[in-house]
Amino acid sequence: MNTLTATTSSSLVSGPVRRIGVQSRSVTGTMPNGARYESTLERDFMLLMQFDPAVDIYTPQPLTLAYCGKDGQPHKYTPDGLIEWRIDRQVHDPRPVLVEIKYREDVVGKWREWRARARAARAFAAEKGWLFMIYTEREIRTPALENATFLLPYLRRESAPEMEQWLLDRLAELVETTPRDLVESMYRDRWNQAALIPVMWRLLADRRIGFDIAQLLNMRSTIWSLRG
């Protein structure tokens, strides 16, 4: 996987344009790649962006918009992020996505206040040929997030190329199986099976083994070879 993040500069925006401060109900922090977040929900969304192989660049706080509020006065609004997709990946819609990340209760409870911001963001995005989307915990905190949380550390682990190739070759023979059945088909003793498991998770994290990201991953999940 070759996902780029906010540490790689976007050619579309100059953000981050806003410094992350301390919020009353939020948890601020920094991702390993240096991107700042101001809530655990935003952190979780960034983790999904980091794990998604179709994402080229995710820029937090990418720009600031001027809009007219319901009070008739000028206001400023900084969306939470901008997603740019990789051109070598087939995505359902390749247009960049301007995003707002909010808990559902904050969006629904303050929709009158949010409507003017959303209209301004959609109009700006449409003018640029982008999309604007609001992501809540319903779209973010899913099995895909749990899978990303589990698998991402394996991308930083080194594994022997010959072991990776052996696993991939065996999976190609089986075509479709489960993690448990894959390692058990290669070794009978538990010690050698245990040595293969981290290598297998790395291959899944690197998307060299197919699996359903929307289903919680375990040793009985269906996995398949990506060879034609």
Return the SS3 of 1.
coil
Task: Look at 4-18, 93-107, 212-226 and tell me which has the smallest mean pLDDT.
Answer: 4-18
Token code pair at residue 10 = 């976007």
93 Rama class: left (phi>0) / alpha (psi -120 to 50) / beta:
beta
As a whole-number percent, the residues of the chain with pLDDT over 90 amount to 70
Give all domains of the chain, ordered by start, each with its CATH number: 29-140 (3.40.1350.10), 155-225 (1.10.10)
Per-residue pLDDT tens over the stretch 127-148:
999 999 999 999 999 999 999 9
pTM over 0.85: no
Please report which residue ranges of 15-142 form alpha helices under DSSP H.
Answer: 40-51, 104-109, 111-128, 137-140
In terms of pLDDT, which residue wins out, 31 or 177?
177
Cα(112)–Cα(136) distance, integer angstroms: 17
Cα(118)–Cα(114) distance, integer angstroms: 6
